[in-house]
Amino acid sequence: MKIAVAGTGYVGLVTGVCLASKGHEVTCVDVDENKVKIMKNGDSPIYEPGLSELMKEHKNNLVFTTDYEEAYREAEVIFIGVGTPEKQDGSANLSYVFEVAKQIAQTVQRDCVVVIKSTVPIGTNDKIESYIRDKQKNKDVCIYVASNPEFLSQGTAVKDTLCASRIVIGVEEVFPGEVLKKVYEKFDVPKLIVKRRSAEMIKYASNDFLALKISYINEIANLCEIVGANIEEVTEGMGYDARIGHRFLNAGIGYGGSCFPKDTKALNWLANFNDNEIRTIRAAIEVNENQKFKLIKKTKKYYDDFLFLNVAVLGCTFKPGTDDLREAVSLVNVPLLLEDGANVRIWDPVGMENFKKKYPNKIQYCNSIEEAITDADICLILTEWEEIKNFDLRKYEKLMKKPIVLDGRNCYQLEEVKKTNITYDSIGRYTVNPQ
Ligand code: NAD
Section 325-329 average pLDDT: 97
- Tens digits of per-residue pLDDT, 57-82? 999 999 999 999 999 999 999 999 99
Look at ligand 1, atom 18, and give the residue with the nearest C-alpha: 100
- Tens digits of per-residue pLDDT, 345-374? 999 999 999 999 999 999 999 999 999 999
Give the pLDDT score at 148.
Answer: 98
Section 247-257 average pLDDT: 97
Residues in the chain: 435
Section 337-342 average pLDDT: 96
The pTM assigned to this predicted structure is: 0.94
Q: What b/e readout covers 406-417, taking b as 16+ CB neighbours within 10 angstroms?
A: bbbbbbbeeeeb
- Ligand 1 geometric centre to CA of 389 (Å): 31
State the average pLDDT for the chain. Answer: 97
Q: In Å, how far are 171, 347, 350, 391 from 387, measured between CA atoms?
A: 44, 11, 12, 6
Q: Rounded distance, CA 5 to CA 291, Å? A: 37
The pLDDT > 90 percentage for the chain reads: 100
Q: At residue 193, does pLDDT exceed 90?
A: yes
Q: At residue 435, does pLDDT exceed 90?
A: no
Q: Rounded distance, CA 425 to CA 435, Å? A: 10
| Neighbouring residues of 99: CB distance < 8 A, sequence distance ≥ 6 | 82
| Alpha helices, H only, 352-431 | 352-358, 369-373, 386-389, 393-399, 414-418
Give the pLDDT score at 171.
Answer: 98
- Ligand 1 geometric centre to CA of 266 (Å): 16
Q: Rounded distance, CA 28 to CA 5, Å? A: 5
Atom of ligand 1 nearest to the CA of 117: 30
Q: Ligand 1 pocket test: pick from 26, 46, 82, 200 the residue with the most ligand atoms within 8 Å of its Cβ.
A: 82
Look at ligand 1, atom 12, and give the residue with the nearest C-alpha: 7
- Tens digits of per-residue pLDDT, 128-139? 999 999 999 999
